[in-house]
Amino acid sequence: MPNIDRREFLKLVGAGGVSVGAGFMLREANKDPREYLIPHVLAPEDFSSGLDTFYNSVCSMCPAGCGISVRTREGRAKKIEGNPAHPVSQGRLCTLGQAGLQALYNPDRLTAPMRRTGEGESASFEEITWEQGLKQVGDRLDLLRAARRGNRVAFLTQGVRGHLAQLFESFMRQLGSPRLLHYDFDHPHTLYAANQQFFGESRLPYYDLANTRLLLSFGADYLNNWISPVHHSLGFGESRQGRADVRGRFVQIEPRMSISGAAADEWIPAKPGTEGILALGLAHHIVAEGNYNGADLGAWTNALADYTPDAVAEQTGVPVNTITRLADSFVDTTPSLAIGGGAAGNHSNGVDTLVAVNALNYLVGNIGQEGGLVLNPEPAGPAVQQHRASYSAMVELAEAARQGEIDILIISGTNPVFTLPPAAEFAEALAQIPLVVSLSSFLDETTALADVILPSHTYLESWGDDFPEPGVGFSVGAVSQPVVSPLYNTRGTGDIILDLARRMGSSSVMPWQNMEEFLKYGWRRIYQRGDSQTLAQGFDAFWTSVLKAGAWGETTNGSTAFTLNPDVIAGIGVAPPEFSGSEEDYPFILHPYLSPNFHDGRGANLPWMQELPDPMTSVVYGSWVEVNPVTAEEMGLSEGDLVDIQSPHGQLRVPVFVYPAIMPNVIAIPIGQGHGEYGRYAKGRGVNPIEILSPLLEPITGNLASSATRVNLTPTGGRVKLVKTGGVSRDLGRDIVQHTSLGVEVSSAADNSIPITEVTT
């Protein structure tokens, strides 16, 4: 023990105390404020620390309508899974669906209502209260309605189904305006029209991939963005390896290999726009070989007379023997299925092409068969097909706006300024409308031009429901419920509409206080379809069970019997596709395709999606143009070379990616990037190929023939480094992805051999 006297001791104690105190103060001063945990004094019912709570809901990231199951913890959404009880997604989910969390927690969300101040360059948004915003819009609506000029109001929404769609409809009916438009860039108008022509009903059939043995896909990227990718993927997996002794074979016909093309057993490049001609070539062969014996054989023979394999081979660029082989196997393999869509439907002959694909199914008897086309029953929820807006409907809207016929435009969810070609002059038309109201959750290109922004909840915060279209062969519905409490001062789209309806004095017709109430009102009808047992339990029990299960289904199947209207056969025929621009000036055909990551551009504000390598090229954070290796070599282009792509309607500068599976006279650019607004992750990245599309239409639907623009390609001499994750995409004989062939028995070595590595069990 060293000698310490009292004074020394006190000094030491004092100094020690002061240092500890100073250290503590310093630590407190530097403390991260997030360290404080504030416990709930009265925790919400479903809130228990450390325990997960799962909520079933519906994904709204794309129009497929997958059921989801959201894991929440301490009131925050942590993970989205597929809902196993939902027949569309069956517990699975795609990449965009997984990223829905980043829409909810996006740093660039609109947090409160806003109003535009200033004009032109100096325009900016100022925050307002909901009362101010709703009053400004509601008063104008009320005025117009009172003056019986409600038809000067237009409502433009993304494609929605279910009761929200019905709400929009009754809202517009109150105003007496026919201008309700559901606009999505990728809505398959031509497919609906073709089915209307062929089946006589404007509904999509169910494509039973799971049970088919041979799938011919004419341009439909069914595993990626076409209609219901998760459900198709499930079917694909089931068909491929889900059955004991049958392995489904998949053939993809398209000018540029898509994800579905890569997954297919055979990829057949056909000249863009000639997919329908090819289908009729197959049909011709089927009929000519005597493989069709229907009563209307004569009509078919007549209709298909011009589509001899030789003529078709000439037009499509597909060899004769491939045509006959495909046709033969399509007949021989049952069940088989032909689907068409995507780029094949986005040509001037789109409807005819898809009718031709249906004809193929008809000729081999796939319609109404398991493993073929299964006709869907009437959806249980409200149907909205008549409000689907094609390109020409949007042009009409823009024209009406220019003529001063529109006083108020309400936009919900859709982003036409980004997804319409500049030829539609939509942005200019918006400027002519006195009051543009956006209900978007994000400041996208269209919302940036709005006068008033009344920001909606994201789908994870709001009430809604969905009846997937197409169904899965029987009626399906699901309720979308909030899984977290709203993050910001936003409101559900339905709630905003109901509030506006009250303000224009429609509360007698639309008496519901909020969307939840309206949903319950609507679902009461579905409840009444239930069996006696369900009815005995009462609506509340039914409602709870629907919310818990996340899905409602009814085993009413569509009719299996189908008779073809003879007029259809006479009308069958596919004209050669038209393209804008001459072949001399514009030697390449532009193939814009929906990006797997961004869909039509809506996913571009999600950092996960930006950083997700494109499956085919592994490029991240940018745009590229895919060029055939031979073409690239002829033009002296290699990866990263900047080229100017010029169409009759615009020009883009974009780096080259040499793509091994694209036709030599086709170039492809993914849609989704090239945003001028839409938050920090999307803004100013890559290019938007829609900007250079020519406004060529499919005449029956008025759909934009988005795959029919011719372009030329000029090297600029510039170079950029294409940011991508992949190195060399050839396996150099290393047998990394191993293959085996069908029919050859794959068996292990002789029983007595001893392998080096044991399969330990």
Partner 1 sequence: MSLFSRFMDGWRKYRKPGYYDEFDYHWTMTIDLDKCTGCEACVTACQAENNIPVVGEDEMAKGREMQWIRIERYWEGEYPNAKLSFIPMMCQHCDAAPCETVCPVGATYHNQDGLNAQIYNRCIGTRACAVYCPYEVRYFNYYDHEWDSPLEQQLNPDVTVRGKGVMEKCTFCIQRIRQAKDVAKDDDRRRVQDGEMQPACVQTCPTKALVFGDRKDHESQVYKSMNDPRNYRVLDELNTDSSVFYLKKVDA
Partner 2 sequence: MHRPMTTETFKLGYNDIHDDVVRSIVKTGPKYYIALATAGGVTLLCFFFPWSYQLYYGIGAAGMNHPGVWGTYLASFIFWIGLSHSGTLLSCVLHLTNSSWRKAMYRSAEAMTLFSLVVAATYVMVHVGRPWFIHWAVPYPNQMELWPNFRSPLLFDVMAIATYITGSTIFIYMGSIPDFAAVRDRTSGWRNTMYTLLSLGWRGTDKEWHRLHWAYTFLAVLIIPLAVSVHSIVSWDFAMSIVPSLHQTIFAPYFVVGAIYSGTAGIVTVMFVLRKTMGFEQYITKLHFDNLGKLLLVLSLIWTYINGVELFTAWYSGTSEEYEALGYKLFGYYAWLYWEMILFCAVAPMLMFSTRFRTSFVPMLILSIAINIGMYTERFLIVATSLSRQYLPDAWGTYVPSPVEISIMVGSFALFTTLFLIFVKIFPSVSMYEVKETMATPKMEPAAPAAGSPA
The interface with partner 1 within residues 607-626 (CB under 8 A) comprises 607-613, 615-616, 618, 620-622
CA distances from 342 to 354, 592, 609 (A): 10, 10, 22
Contacts (CB under 8 A) with partner 1, residues 222-251: 223-224, 229-230, 233-234, 236-238, 240-242, 247, 249
Q: List the structure tokens of 349.
A: 């002959």
Q: Given CA atoms 380, 381, 387, 389 in this order, what sign does their dihedral have?
A: negative
Report in angstroms how near the CB of residue 664 gets to partner 1 at its nearest.
7
- Do 53 and 46 touch, CB atoms closer than 8 A? yes
- Do 503 and 134 touch, CB atoms closer than 8 A? yes
> From CA 494, how far away is CA 515, in angstroms rounded?
5
401 touches, from partner 2, partner 1, none (C-beta below 5 to 8 Å by class): none
733 touches, from partner 1, partner 2, none (C-beta below 5 to 8 Å by class): partner 2
Residue with smaller CB distance to partner 1, 111 or 582: 111
Residue with smaller CB distance to partner 1, 76 or 149: 76
411 touches, from partner 2, partner 1, none (C-beta below 5 to 8 Å by class): none
Residue with smaller CB distance to partner 2, 126 or 731: 731
Residues 6 or more apart from 235 whose CB is under 8 A from it? 207, 208, 209, 210, 212
Contacts (CB under 8 A) with partner 1, residues 257-296: 257, 259-260, 262-263, 265, 267-269
Residue with smaller CB distance to partner 1, 87 or 650: 87
747 touches, from partner 1, partner 2, none (C-beta below 5 to 8 Å by class): partner 1
Contacts (CB under 8 A) with partner 1, residues 539-598: 596
- Do 687 and 677 touch, CB atoms closer than 8 A? no
The yes or no reply on residue 660 touching partner 2 (CB under 8 A) is no
Site pattern 681..700 for partner 1 (x: CB under 8 A)? ----x---------------
Residue with smaller CB distance to partner 2, 170 or 618: 618
Contacts (CB under 8 A) with partner 1, residues 90-109: 91-99, 101-102, 104-107
Site pattern 571..610 for partner 2 (x: CB under 8 A)? ----------------------------------------
Q: List the structure tokens of 95.
A: 């990449």
11 touches, from partner 1, partner 2, none (C-beta below 5 to 8 Å by class): none
- Do 181 and 155 touch, CB atoms closer than 8 A? yes
DSSP state of 422: G
- For the purposes of burial, counting CB atoms within 10 Å of the CB of 19, is it exposed (0-12), middle (13-18) or buried (19 or more)? exposed
The yes or no reply on residue 756 touching partner 2 (CB under 8 A) is no
- Do 716 and 655 touch, CB atoms closer than 8 A? no
Report in angstroms how near the CB of residue 712 gets to partner 2 at its nearest.
33
Site pattern 608..627 for partner 2 (x: CB under 8 A)? ----------x---------
Size of the site for partner 2 (CB under 8 A): 11
Phi-psi region of 684 (alpha: psi -120 to 50; beta: other; left: phi over 0): left
The yes or no reply on residue 486 touching partner 1 (CB under 8 A) is no
Report in angstroms how near the CB of residue 726 gets to partner 2 at its nearest.
5
The yes or no reply on residue 721 touching partner 2 (CB under 8 A) is no
Cα 481 to the center of its chain, rounded Å: 21
Bond preceding residue 648 cis, omega within 30 of 0: no
Q: What is the dihedral of CA 454, 458, 464, 465, to 10 degrees?
A: 140
Residue with smaller CB distance to partner 1, 268 or 364: 268
Report in angstroms how near the CB of residue 637 gets to partner 1 at its nearest.
15
Contacts (CB under 8 A) with partner 2, residues 723-742: 726-734, 736
Cβ count within 10 A of residue 667: 29
Site pattern 738..757 for partner 1 (x: CB under 8 A)? xxxxx--xxxx-------xx
Q: List the structure tokens of 242.
A: 């889900």
> From CA 175, how far away is CA 165, in angstroms rounded?
16
> From CA 629, how far away is CA 664, in angstroms rounded?
8
Which parts of this chain interact with partner 2 (CB under 8 A)?
618, 726-734, 736
